[in-house]
Structure 1
Amino acid sequence: MSRIQLHDKTFDLFISEAEVNRAIDKLALEIGRKYDGKRPLFLGVLNGAFFFAAELVKRLDIECEISFVKVASYHGTSSSGTVTQLIGLTGAH
């Protein structure tokens, strides 16, 4: 089993890259069927969802929009317990 080091933490691989890709493919197909003929807005939360959101939108066969918000409650690997909005949707419709 693969191990991943992040700062002073060690993690065991839980889901393989192939499994993640299959799940994203399946989700893209489901979203495509449900929102065919519509133009959904996908809202990703930075930084963690950036790569997932990019992969999902690339695999969609429907027109859509994507935007991001950035919030933080962590400094390093410790939570402050308070969520702070760093970038948002001010002025978005």
Structure 2
Amino acid sequence: MDIETKKWEVLCSEEQIANRLKELGSQISEEYKGEKLIVISLLKGSFIFCADLVRNITVPVKIEFMTTSSYGHGEESSGRVKLVSDIGSQIEGCHVLVVDDITDTALTMDFVMSHLKSKNPASLKCCVLLDKPSRRKVELVPDYCGFEIEDKFVVGYGLNFGDYYRNIPYVFNVTNEDR
């Protein structure tokens, strides 16, 4: 599918995202007041969201990165999650927030949360830009969520189509209808 020839609609505008990130940053800052926080960005999808989110958090933040894989280049999760690259820091006794671009089946976040829980953090929560609860395959509710969306294929603001379009500053839905 060539995205330029398809119909698309904006689901979350730049302004909506910026406003929601301020709200999430304030909420997270309040909940971790007086604490230090380790934020783990799940690559590649969450890097833009995570960068903008941490700029709205006022408590001391350490950033770590983790890479998992379950999608490849398709529009559907394979259902199998593998750890490609683990974090480089010890998190035992630390407050940890995992940041991802989207939770739909929740298989990836469930895998990551279980993996990190085994490292004995003081607390472990997750934050996602987008949540698609209608696609859940495991019981998991993000602790912090930017936007709840319908079951649509979304691109932009870190979310890719193939290896492209992560740089679009808003989230949009791609349909199979002709433009």
- Common topology (TM > 0.5): yes
Higher relative helix content: 1
Match of 2:78 among 77, 80, 83: 80
Instruction: Write the mapping of 1:18-33 to structure 2, written as runs, cut at 5 A.
Output: 18-33=15-30
Change (3 A) 1:64 1:74: same
Contact 2:64 / 2:89 at 8 angstroms: preserved in 1?
no
TM superposition score normalised by structure 2: 0.44
Match of 2:31 in 1: 34
Change (3 A) 1:72 1:7: farther
> Larger relative contact order (C-alpha < 8 A, sep ≥ 6)?
2
Q: In the alignment, does 2:11 pair up with 1:14?
A: yes
Match of 1:71 among 68, 71, 93: 68
Counterpart CA distance in 2 for 1:7 and 1:68 is 31
Show structure 1 runs of 5+ residues with no match.
none
Deviation at 1:89, TM superposition (A): 2.3
Higher relative strand content: 1
RMSD: 2.3
For residue 59 of structure 1, give the secondary structure of its aligned residue in structure 2.
coil
Counterpart CA distance in 2 for 1:6 and 1:20 is 22
Deviation at 1:92, TM superposition (A): 2.6
Show structure 2 runs of 5+ residues with no match.
92-179
TM superposition score normalised by structure 1: 0.79
Q: How many residues are aligned here?
A: 89
